[in-house]
C-alpha cells in the first residue's frame, strides 16, 4: 500500500515536472502574457470608479472590476501567469542544463575525426610537404583565440583539434537567470517598497505621503521641506524646468539640502524624492481679503474641456461665479474672475480668466485660462485641460495681479529595495543575450595524411549556432594555411 | 541649405533608390541594382548630413539637443538606421535584391515624416522629462532594434514570396537568395534586433527610474514594447528549441514587426508618458 502511494506521488511529480519543463508551456504563457497585456493599454488603469462607470456602463464595469481589469497588471491572474513563467523557466533550465553541463565541464574534450570528415563544410587541399614539415609550419598558425588545442598522431599523419567558446553554451541559461532576477527584484520591490506622492506648498514641511492608487498614508521618519519652487518656460510657452529646493529635516534639524529637477532626484536613506508636477495655491490661500468683482450674468463663457484620460472634448457653458461639475466626475470648476493683462512668471500672457478647480479627491487648484493660449492649461498636466472657446458680453473688470503667486511642488516619493537586484538582472540579461546570439562554441579539426609523398589536408569544423559563421572561419584558416606553405617554400 | 532641405532631398533620394531596387528586381536589370546601391549610399550620407545639421541648428536656436526628441526626428532616425543596417547587410552578403524590400520602408518613413500634417517638424525645446542623457541611449538602441526587425520583416516577405512561387518557378523570384539563406538572414536580423530592443527597454527602464522613481509602470508604450519582446522571444524559442524554421518563422517575424509598428505609432493614439 505504502509503496504504491509513494510511486503514485512520484508519478504525479514526474507528470507535473514534465508539464513545467515543456517549451510549449513557455510559448503558451508568453503568448497569453502578450495578448492580455494589450487589455491594459486600451483600458486606462487605476482611474476612479466614477470615471469607469461613466465610460463603460454598469454591466461592463461589474465584469471588469470582478476580473481586476482596472488594475490588471497587479491582478491575481496576471500574477499567476508571471509565477507560471518563473516556474517554467526554472524547471526548463534545470531539465536542459545537463546537456551543455557535460560538454562544458569535461576534462578532456572528445574529438571524433570521422565525424569531422563527414561534415559538409570542409576544405580539402594537398601539399608537397610531408606531414612532419607541415606540423611545424601549422602549429603556430592555429588562431590564438582558440583556448584548447590538441595534437594527435595518426597512422599516416597527424590531427590538430582546437576549440573555443565551450562555455558560451550557457548563454540561454544566463538570460534565464536574468529574467528570474528581474522577477525577484520586482517581488522585493512590491513587498518592501512603496510608491507615493505628496504636495508641499512653498515654505512648508511634510513627513507623510499618500500611497499611489490607494487612500493609505505612509509616514516617513524625516520631513521634507520645500524652501522654494521655480518654474521656467521657453519663449513658446513650453515648460523648461521645474525646480524645487528641498531640505530634509530629521529630529527637527536640517540634515540635507538639494535642488531637485525632473531627472535629478534626491535620495536619502533609501527613499527617492522626484520632482513631478507643480501647482498654484488657490487665490483664497494667498490673500483671503481679496474680493472678486461681479460680472454680468449674460456674460456667457464657453469652455472646452479635454480629458487627459479619455481624450474626449467636452464643451460647457458657464458664467463667472457659477460652479460647474466637470465631466467624468473628476470635480468642480468655477470661474472666479477676469483679468485683461496677466503675468505668468514674468511672461505677459494677456487676457485671462481665473478659475478654481476642486478635484473630488484633492485640494483646490488655481487655473489660468489665457485667451491667447488655448493650450496653456495643458501644462498643468491635470486630468482635465480647460480652455476658453468663446465669450460674449463686455468685459470691463480690471484686476491688479501684483500679488505674488505661491506654488506647491508635487513630489513623487518612492522606495524600492529591489532596484539593485533588477539592475543586476538588466546587466546579466544584456551579457546573456550577447553570448547567446553572437558567440558560439566552435570546434575545428585539421587533419593531415600522407598520400604518395604528398600530404592531404582537411580543414573541417562545427559551430553550435549558425553554419554561415563556421564557413567563413574555415575559409580563413585554409587560406592562411596555404599562404603559410607558399611562404615557407620560398 | 538647411536641415529640412537636406532631409527633403533625402526623401527624394530614398524614393529613387527604392524605385531602382524594385526596377532591378522586377525587370531583372542588374545595373539598376548597382546604381541603386550608389543612390542608397548617397541617401544615407544626405540623411546623416540632415540629422547633424538639425542638431547644429538646435544649438543655434539656444535649445540644443540631439535630434531624437519628437516623432518627426524619430522617423528620420528610423530611416537612417534602416538605410545603414540594410547597406551593411548588402555589403556583407551581396544581395541587391533585398533592397527592393527594405529601402521602400526607409522612403515611406521619410515621406511620412515630411508629408503628414499631424507631424510637427519644428525644432522644439526639450520638456523637463526629456532632459536626460538616457534619451540618446534609449532612442538609439530602440531604433536599431526597430530597423533590424523591419529588415527581418522584409526578408520574411521575400521568403514567403519565394515559397509561394517555388513550384511555378515564377520569374519574380529567380534572382532571390536561396530560401535557406533568407531564413538564416531573417534569424540573424532578429537576434540583432532582439539584443537592441532588450537594451532599449532596459535603458528606458533605468531612465524611468531616474525620472519618476519606478523602472516599470505599465505605460502603454512600455507594455507594447514588452509585447513585442514577447513575440520575438516566442520566435527565438520556437526556433532554437523546437527547431522551427521557414514559413512559420517568417509569419512570426511579420507578426513581430506588426507589434513593432503598433509600439511605434499605434500607442500614440493611447494616453501615456512617451512623447512619441
Confidence of residue A346 (pLDDT cuts 50, 70, 90): low
The pLDDT tens digits of the residues spanning A348-360 come to 777 788 888 888 7
Within this chain, do residues B151 and B68 fall inside the same structural domain, yes or no?
no
Verify that B172 and B53 share a domain, yes or no.
Answer: no
Q: Which residues of chain A does B249 touch, with a Cβ-Cβ cutoff of 8 Å?
A: none
Task: Name which of A67-81, A238-252, B112-126 the model is least confident about.
Answer: B112-126
The SS3 assignment for A406 reads coil
> What is the Cα–Cα distance from B20 to A442, expressed in whole angstroms?
40
Query: Domain check: are B103 and B187 in the same one?
Result: no
Task: Please compute the mean of the pLDDT values over residues B189-201 and round it to a whole number.
Answer: 97
Instruction: Work out the burial of residue A308: count CB atoms within 10 Å of its CB; fewer than 13 is exposed, 13-18 middle, 19 or more buried.
Output: middle
pTM of the complete model: 0.80
Contact (Cβ atoms closer than 8 angstroms) between residue A262 and residue A275 = yes
* pLDDT of the residue at B241: 83
What pLDDT, on a 0 to 100 scale, did the predictor assign at position A391? 66
Contact B233 A437 (CB under 8 A): no
Q: Is there a single domain that holds both residue B85 and residue B215?
A: no
Q: A22: exposed, middle or buried (C-beta count within 10 Å: 0-12, 13-18, 19+)?
A: middle
Average pLDDT for residues A77-91, to the nearest whole number? 94
- From A33, A44, A263, residue closest to B271, measured CB to CB: A44
Query: How much of chain B exceeds pLDDT 70, in percent?
Result: 96
pLDDT band of residue A2 (cuts 50, 70, 90) is low
Task: State yes or no: pLDDT of A390 exceeds 80.
Answer: no
Residue B250's pLDDT is 95
Interface test with B, best of A41, A224, A259, A435 (most B CBs within 10 A): A41
Closest Cβ opposite residue A41 in set B202, B242, B270: B270
Instruction: Say whether both B43 and B110 belong to one domain.
Output: yes
Question: What are the beta bridge partners of residue A456?
Answer: A126, A449
Residues B13, B92: contact at Cβ < 8 Å?
A: no
Q: Are residues B203 and B236 in the same domain?
A: yes
Are residue B144 and residue B273 in the same domain, yes or no? Answer: yes
Mean pLDDT of A377-404: 62
Report the pLDDT value the prediction gives residue B171, as an integer from 0 to 100: 67
Q: Where are the beta strands (DSSP E) in A251-393?
A: 253-261, 266-268, 271-280, 301-307, 313-318, 323-325, 331-344, 347-359, 365-370, 384-391
pLDDT of amino acid A342: 76
- As beta bridge partners, residue A275 has A411
The CATH classification number of A113-165+440-489 equals 3.30.310.220
Judged by average pLDDT, the poorest of A461-470, B69-78, B173-182 is A461-470
Closest approach of A413 to chain B, Cα-based (Å): 8
Lowest-confidence pick of A124-133, A208-217, B205-214, B265-274: B265-274
pLDDT, residue B231, reads 96
**Rounded to whole angstroms, how far apart are CA atoms B237 and B244?**
9
* Choice among A162-166, A329-333, B169-173 with the minimum mean pLDDT: B169-173
The span from the CA of A446 to the CA of A4, in Å, is 57
Per-residue pLDDT, B111: 94
Domain that holds residue B190: 132-276
Asked whether the beta carbons of residue B128 and residue A263 sit closer than 8 angstroms, the reply is: yes
**Angle separating helix axes B71-93 and B30-60, nearest 10 degrees:** 140
Minimum mean pLDDT range among A314-323, A422-431, B117-126, B177-186: A314-323
B203 and B271 part of one domain: yes
Express each pLDDT in B225-273 by its tens digit. 999 999 999 999 998 888 888 899 999 999 999 999 999 988 877 766 6
Residue in B closest to A193 by C-alpha: B214
pLDDT of A65 over the 80 cut:
yes
Q: Residue B183: which pLDDT band, with cuts at 50, 70 and 90?
A: very high
- Number of domain units in chain B: 2
> Which chain B residues have a beta carbon less than 8 Å from that of A309?
271
Domain boundary among B126, B150, B181: B126
Higher-confidence residue: B14 or A135? B14
Supply the pLDDT for residue A283: 56
Mean pLDDT calculated for residue range B14-29: 93
Q: Which residue has better confidence, A398 or A447? A: A447
Give the domain ranges of chain A.
2-104, 113-165+440-489, 294-398
Q: Which pLDDT value is given to residue B244? A: 86
Q: What residues of chain A lie within 8 A of the CB of B217, using their CB? A: none
| Spatial contact of B197 and B142, defined as CB atoms under 8 Å apart | yes
- pLDDT tens for A136-148 read 888 877 777 888 8
Mean pLDDT score, B34-45: 96
What does the pLDDT look like over B83-106, one tens digit per residue?
Answer: 999 999 999 988 999 999 999 999
Residue in B with minimal Cα distance to A429: B198
Of A30, A263, A438, Cβ closest to residue B132: A263
Q: What is the pLDDT of residue A399?
A: 36
Between residues B51 and A387, the one the model is more confident about: B51
The minimal CB distance from B234 to the residues A31, A45, A263 is found for A31
For the segment A193-206, the average pLDDT, to the nearest whole number, is 89
pLDDT at residue B58 tops 60: yes
Asked if the ipTM is above 0.85, the reply is yes
pLDDT in tens, A34-53: 999 999 888 888 888 888 88
Inter-chain touch B223–A37, beta carbons under 8 Å: yes
CB contact under 8 A, A234 and B242: no
Chain A: give the shortest CA distance to residue B19, in Å: 31
pLDDT bracket for residue B177 (50, 70, 90): confident
Per-residue pLDDT averaged across B17-38, rounded?
92
**Within 10 Å of residue A466's Cβ, how many Cβ atoms?**
16
Same domain membership, residue B10 and residue B112: yes
B275 lies in the same domain as B176 = yes
User: Residues B182, B265: one domain?
Assistant: yes
- Of B126, B150, B166, the residue at which a domain comes to its end is B126
A428 to chain B, closest Cα gap in Å = 11
DSSP label at A264?
B
Q: What is the pLDDT of residues A131-175, one digit of tens each?
A: 888 888 888 777 778 888 888 888 888 888 888 888 999 999 999
A105, pLDDT greater than 70: yes
- β-pairing, A253-261 vs A313-318, is unpaired
Do B47 and B168 share a domain, yes or no?
Answer: no
| Nearest CA distance, B227 vs chain A (angstrom) | 5
Inform me whether the pLDDT recorded for A284 exceeds 70. no
Confidence tier at A238 by pLDDT (50, 70, 90): confident
Interface test with B, best of A263, A412, A434 (most B CBs within 10 A): A263
List the single best residue of A34, A189, A472 to mutate versus B (max B Cβ within 10 A).
A34
Min CA distance, B147 vs chain A (Å)?
18
Amino acid at each position: 500500500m505504502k509503496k504504491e502511494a509513494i510511486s503514485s506521488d512520484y508519478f504525479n511529480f514526474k507528470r507535473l515536472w514534465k508539464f513545467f519543463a515543456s517549451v510549449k508551456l513557455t510559448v503558451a504563457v508568453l503568448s497569453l502574457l502578450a495578448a492580455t497585456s494589450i487589455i491594459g493599454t486600451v483600458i486606462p488603469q487605476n482611474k476612479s470608479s466614477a470615471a469607469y462607470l461613466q465610460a463603460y456602463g454598469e454591466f461592463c464595469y461589474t465584469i471588469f472590476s470582478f476580473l481586476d481589469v482596472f488594475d490588471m497588471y497587479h491582478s491575481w491572474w496576471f500574477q499567476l501567469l508571471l509565477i507560471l513563467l518563473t516556474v517554467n523557466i526554472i524547471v526548463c533550465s534545470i531539465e536542459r542544463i545537463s546537456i551543455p553541463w557535460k560538454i562544458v565541464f569535461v576534462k578532456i574534450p572528445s574529438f571524433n575525426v570521422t565525424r569531422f570528415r563527414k561534415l559538409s563544410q570542409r576544405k580539402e587541399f594537398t601539399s608537397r610537404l610531408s606531414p612532419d614539415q607541415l606540423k611545424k609550419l601549422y602549429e603556430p598558425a592555429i588562431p590564438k583565440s582558440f583556448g584548447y588545442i590538441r595534437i594527435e598522431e595518426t597512422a599516416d599523419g597527424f590531427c590538430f583539434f582546437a576549440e573555443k567558446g565551450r562555455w558560451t553554451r550557457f548563454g540561454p541559461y544566463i538570460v534565464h537567470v536574468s529574467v528570474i532576477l528581474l522577477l525577484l527584484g520586482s517581488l522585493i520591490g512590491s513587498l518592501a517598497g512603496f510608491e507615493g506622492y505628496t504636495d508641499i506648498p512653498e515654505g512648508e514641511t511634510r513627513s507623510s505621503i499618500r500611497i499611489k492608487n490607494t487612500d493609505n498614508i505612509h509616514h516617513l521618519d524625516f520631513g521634507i521641506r520645500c524652501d522654494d519652487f521655480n518654474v521656467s518656460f521657453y519663449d513658446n510657452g513650453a515648460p523648461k524646468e521645474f525646480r524645487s529646493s528641498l531640505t530634509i529635516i530629521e529630529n527637527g534639524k536640517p540634515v540635507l539640502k538639494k535642488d531637485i529637477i525632473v531627472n535629478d532626484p534626491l535620495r536619502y536613506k533609501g527613499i527617492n524624492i522626484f520632482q513631478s508636477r507643480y501647482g498654484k495655491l488657490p487665490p483664497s490661500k494667498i490673500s483671503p481679503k481679496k474680493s472678486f468683482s461681479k460680472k454680468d450674468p449674460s456674460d456667457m463663457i464657453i469652455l472646452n474641456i479635454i480629458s487627459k484620460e479619455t481624450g474626449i472634448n467636452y464643451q460647457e457653458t458657464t458664467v463667472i461665479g457659477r460652479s460647474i461639475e466637470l465631466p467624468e466626475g473628476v470635480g468642480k470648476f468655477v470661474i472666479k474672475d477676469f483679468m485683461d493683462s496677466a503675468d505668468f512668471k514674468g511672461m505677459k500672457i494677456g487676457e485671462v480668466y481665473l478659475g478654481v478647480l476642486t478635484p473630488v479627491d484633492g485640494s483646490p487648484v488655481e487655473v489660468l485660462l489665457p485667451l491667447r493660449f488655448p493650450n496653456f492649461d495643458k501644462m498643468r498636466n491635470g486630468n482635465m485641460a480647460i480652455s476658453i472657446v468663446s465669450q460674449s458680453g463686455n468685459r470691463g473688470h480690471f484686476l491688479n495681479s501684483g500679488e505674488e503667486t505661491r506654488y506647491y511642488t508635487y513630489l513623487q516619493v518612492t522606495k524600492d529595495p529591489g532596484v539593485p537586484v533588477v539592475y543586476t538582472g538588466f546587466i546579466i540579461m544584456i551579457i546573456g543575450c550577447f553570448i547567446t546570439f553572437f558567440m558560439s562554441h566552435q570546434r575545428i579539426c585539421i587533419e593531415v595524411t600522407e598520400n604518395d609523398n604528398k600530404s592531404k589536408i582537411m580543414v573541417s569544423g562545427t559551430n553550435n549556432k549558425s553554419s554561415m559563421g563556421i564557413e567563413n572561419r574555415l575559409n580563413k584558416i585554409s587560406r592562411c594555411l596555404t599562404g603559410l606553405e607558399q611562404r615557407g617554400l620560398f | 541649405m538647411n536641415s529640412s532641405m537636406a532631409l527633403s532631398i533625402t526623401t527624394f533620394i530614398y524614393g529613387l533608390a527604392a524605385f531602382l531596387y524594385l526596377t532591378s528586381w522586377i525587370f531583372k536589370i542588374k545595373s539598376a541594382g548597382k546604381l541603386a546601391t550608389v543612390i542608397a549610399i548617397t541617401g544615407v550620407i544626405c540623411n546623416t548630413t540632415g540629422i547633424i545639421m538639425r542638431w547644429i541648428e538646435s544649438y543655434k536656436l539656444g535649445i540644443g539637443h540631439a535630434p531624437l526628441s519628437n516623432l518627426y526626428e524619430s522617423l528620420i532616425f528610423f530611416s537612417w538606421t534602416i538605410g545603414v543596417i540594410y547597406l551593411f547587410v548588402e555589403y556583407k552578403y551581396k544581395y541587391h535584391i533585398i533592397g527592393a524590400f527594405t529601402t521602400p520602408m526607409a522612403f515611406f518613413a521619410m515621406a511620412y515624416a515630411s508629408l503628414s500634417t499631424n507631424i510637427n517638424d519644428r525644432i522644439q525645446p526639450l520638456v523637463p522629462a526629456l532632459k536626460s542623457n538616457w534619451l540618446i541611449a534609449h532612442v538609439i538602441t530602440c531604433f536599431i532594434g526597430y530597423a533590424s526587425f523591419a529588415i527581418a520583416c522584409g526578408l520574411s516577405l521575400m521568403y514567403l514570396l519565394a515559397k509561394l512561387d517555388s513550384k511555378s518557378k515564377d520569374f519574380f523570384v529567380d534572382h532571390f537568395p536561396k530560401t535557406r539563406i533568407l531564413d538564416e538572414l531573417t534569424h540573424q536580423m532578429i537576434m540583432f534586433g532582439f539584443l537592441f530592443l532588450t537594451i532599449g527597454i532596459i535603458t528606458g527602464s533605468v531612465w524611468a527610474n531616474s525620472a519618476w522613481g519606478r523602472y516599470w509602470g505599465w505605460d502603454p508604450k512600455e507594455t507594447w514594447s514588452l509585447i513585442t519582446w514577447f513575440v520575438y522571444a516566442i520566435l527565438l524559442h520556437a526556433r532554437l528549441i523546437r527547431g522551427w524554421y521557414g514559413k512559420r518563422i517568417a509569419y512570426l517575424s511579420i507578426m513581430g514587426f506588426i507589434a513593432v509598428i503598433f509600439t511605434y505609432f499605434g500607442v500614440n493614439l493611447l494616453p501615456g508618458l512617451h512623447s512619441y
